[in-house]
Structures are given as structure tokens and as C-alpha cells.
A = this chain, B = another copy of it.
Amino acid sequence: MITDHAIYRELAQKNNNKIVLLVMDGLGGLPMAADGLTELETAHTPVMDRLAREGSSGRSIPVRPGVTPGSGPAHLSLFSYDPVRFEIGRGVLEALGIGFALGPDDLAARGNFATADANGLITDRRAGRIGTEECIRLCKKLQEQTSLAADGYQVFVEPVKEHRFALVLRGPGLGGKLTETDPQVTGKAPLPVEDESGTAEGGHTAALLNKWIAQARKVLADEPRANTLNLRGLAKDPGLPRFPDIYQMRAAAIAVYPMYKGVAKLVGMDVIEFEGDRPHHEIAALARVWNDYDFFFIHVKKTDSYGEDGNFDAKVHEIEEVDKVLPDLLALGPNVLIITGDHSTPAKLRSHSYHPVPTLFWGVDVMPDVVQAFGERAAEGGAHGCFHATEMVPWAMGYAGRLQRFGA
């Protein structure tokens, strides 16, 4: 069932038990051939298999049956926020992910540098995938040469990665339901920002954004590749309920990529900074902050990237790499450990998918079920059945003894 926070907010109690949520992005897979194994089934994962034997398995549905999630909604769901109810703009995630201190009234957009021809028609939606150094230079140029100061607004143009940047407008009365400028295909002109809310606030904000876009395109006009731009996911911080307040846990996020740091920050987790980008670097960071938090979200990205590349073997290998660092994680003494993915990314499909995600719960009060290994089909027989991903944190709260009894 889909989590309603009210009852957990009422029942949550503090203790010393620690919960780890280990997410291998896009973990779920499919066999490449009808009688084959999935990536996870193929991987040699002696530690995960042992945890599955000692614990209890299931398969999680990130959003709704048949629905393929993006990364933002999928993570919201893991954190127990129904993504259908709690919507967040891509711009907000992008800004938070780069550590931008987004205010509650700021409006954020994801920006994409792009290439247009002489008629203004988009020829490359990613500006030839310019490098991050180039992105930094372009953002600096836009920051210096564009302005909405005459209208009473501050503008922040922040580089993210390659062709991607974040745009933030700061000032009074921003809002509305704003459309994106990206036509989604090449050969078409960018669209204007429009407001679908019909509010005065929305109309005003759309006008401001179009004014800034016009300035920015002029500034970029003589660039060889990034001679235009598009804005997507234009919105304010939706002001989600704070995870540490609902569950009475100090929560830490250990992730490499901006998006995942962003979602974690959005629900009030502390993002832990660390050097390196491999699973063992993440476990080292975990060890360093172990005593300062109650709940730990650890995000492994490459499983998803290899899935999207259609690289079955590399995804298998990355899962095995995670298995190898698990002893170091277990040595820290978590009371409850969840191993899961945010969604499936079968190499066969080369994209995110809606397939339920194999999930295991491990802890001293978890009932050992009949499942003997960690995998998609093994998990089908697990005690947790097929469940909505928003149940995950609540079950962990129960297993950790962090919920008071409900009623007499």
C-alpha cells in the first residue's frame, strides 16, 4: 500500500538502531534471451545471497503498475513519498544537486545548451555534448551579460555537467505552471515558456523567463556549438515534509551524482561529501559518519548507466563490485539493511523500465523467508511479496524498533 506519513509521524520513536538503504540504480533487469538470466541473477553475489537467505525478500513497484519512473520520482518513492502526490520539478533537483542553496521562493529550471541553425531550428539538443569546462565558461558569460535586475529579480546561472546547467530566479511573486521550451526533436524551433495555471503569478513568471531567454540567446549567438538553450522543469521547491521530522532519524545521503544528492536534500537529508566515485569510496564515507546519523541512503549509479548502455556484462560486474564491499558495510553493524534499486534498467531494453525491483530486507527481527538468493525470480517467492516502494522505509522502521505501538 502507498505510504501515508501521518501514522509514522505519530508513532516514530528514537533509539540507537541504524538503518541502511543501499540503492543500486536501475538494479532490476531482464534476461537477454527468453531462457536466460537477468544481470542480478548472473552476477556472483555470495554476500547478497547470504543476506537474502537470512532475511526477507520482495519486489517493489516504484510508482504505479506498468509505470516507468524517472530518477527523481523513483527516489522519492524509496524515501516513502508517493511521487504521484509529491511532484518536484527537474530544475529544483538540478539546482539542489549542485549544492545550490535554493530558497523557498526561488524558481529553478534545468537548462540545456543546444545548437540551432540560421533559422533558429534546433540541430543538436545537447550542443554536441560540450564538455563541462565549456559549460562553466558559458554559464559565467551568461551570468555576467544577462540580468533581470530592472524587474527586481536576481538571476543565477550555474553549470552542472556537459551541456547541462541550472537557472534560478530569485525575487517576489514567482510561480505558476510553466511549460518547457525544448521541442524534444531536432528540426523545430524552441517553444516559448507559457503558463498553464492562469494565475497572475504564472503569467508574470513566464514573461520574465522569456525575457531572460531572449537576452541569453543573444549572448550565445556567436558560439560555435552552444548558440542557443532550452529550459525544462521550471518550478519552485515543493516544500516536501522533512524525512528527519517524520521518522525521527538523522538521515545521511551518500551519492556521487547531483540528481540523487538533490532528491535527498529535498527531503531534508544531509548530503555527505567525499572523495572518489566507486562503491568502496562510498562505504568509506559511510564509516566516517556512522556515529552521526541513524539512517543512511547509499546510491550506486553505474548499474543504471550500464543498463542504459545495453552493457549486460558491465552491469553484472558492477553488481559484483557492490557485493565485494558489503562485508565492510556489515562490519559497521547496521540493525536493518535494505538492498534494492530505484527502478529496473534492463540492458535488454537500454532504458529505465516499470518492472518491479528485487529488494531484500535484512536484520535481526526480519523473518527469514524461503528465498535462498538475491535475484528477480528468487524474490518472487519472498515474504514481502510485490509491494509499493513507499512501504520500504516503514518496514525498516518496524524492524528497527523505531515505531511505538498503535493504540492500546
Contacts and interface: CB of A to CB of B under 8 A. Distances in A.
7 contacts: A1-B65, A4-B84, A8-B67, A59-B383, A70-B405, A93-B408, A354-B398
Kindly name the residue among A8, A384, A406 whose own CB sees the greatest number of chain B CB atoms within 10 A.
A406
Given A65-B395, A370-B377, A407 B83 contact: yes
Interface stretch (A101-109, A315-323, A361-369): A361-369
A315 B113 CA distance: 65
A385 interface: yes
Contacts of A407: 69-70, 72-73, 83, 87, 90
Contacts of A191: none
A348 to B, nearest CB: 8
Interface string A55-80: 00001000111111111110000000
Contacts of A150: none
A66 B377 contact: no
A396 interface: yes
Nearest to A346: B365
B65 A391 contact: yes
Interface string A1-15: 111101110010000
Nearest to A378: B370
Given A65-B391, A380-B383, A381-B381, 17 more contacts: A1-B65, A4-B84, A8-B66, A63-B406, A64-B394, A65-B395, A66-B391, A66-B397, A66-B403, A68-B404, A70-B407, A83-B406, A87-B407, A90-B408, A352-B405, A370-B381, A377-B383
B386 A380 contact: no
Number of copies of this protein chain within its complex: 2
B368 A398 contact: no
B383 A386 contact: yes
A32 B381 CA distance: 23
Contact of A68 (B1, B381, B403): B403
A376 interface: yes
B382 A380 contact: yes
B380 A381 contact: yes
Contact of A406 (B70, B349, B369, B398): B70
Among A59, A66, A395, A398, the one with the most B-chain Cβ atoms within 10 Å of its Cβ is A66
Contacts of A386: 383-385, 387
Given A2-B1, A365-B30, A386-B385, A67 B403 contact: yes
B399 A66 contact: yes
A397 B110 CA distance: 30
A299 interface: no
Interface of A is mostly: loop
A194 interface: no
A388 interface: yes
A408 to B, nearest CB: 4
Contacts of A406: 63-64, 67-70, 73, 83
Contact of A69 (B35, B72, B405): B405
Nearest to A70: B407
B365 A369 contact: no
Contacts of A110: 408
Interface string A81-121: 00110010010010000000000000000100000000000
B398 A65 contact: yes
A376 B355 CA distance: 23
A311 to B, nearest CB: 19
Contact of A368 (B34, B63, B349): B34
Contacts of A394: 64-67
A130 to B, nearest CB: 21
A39 interface: no
Ranked nearest first, the 9 interchain pairs of A and B with the lowest CB-CB distance are A66-B398, A70-B407, A73-B407, A354-B398, A66-B394, A90-B408, A385-B386, A65-B391, A65-B394
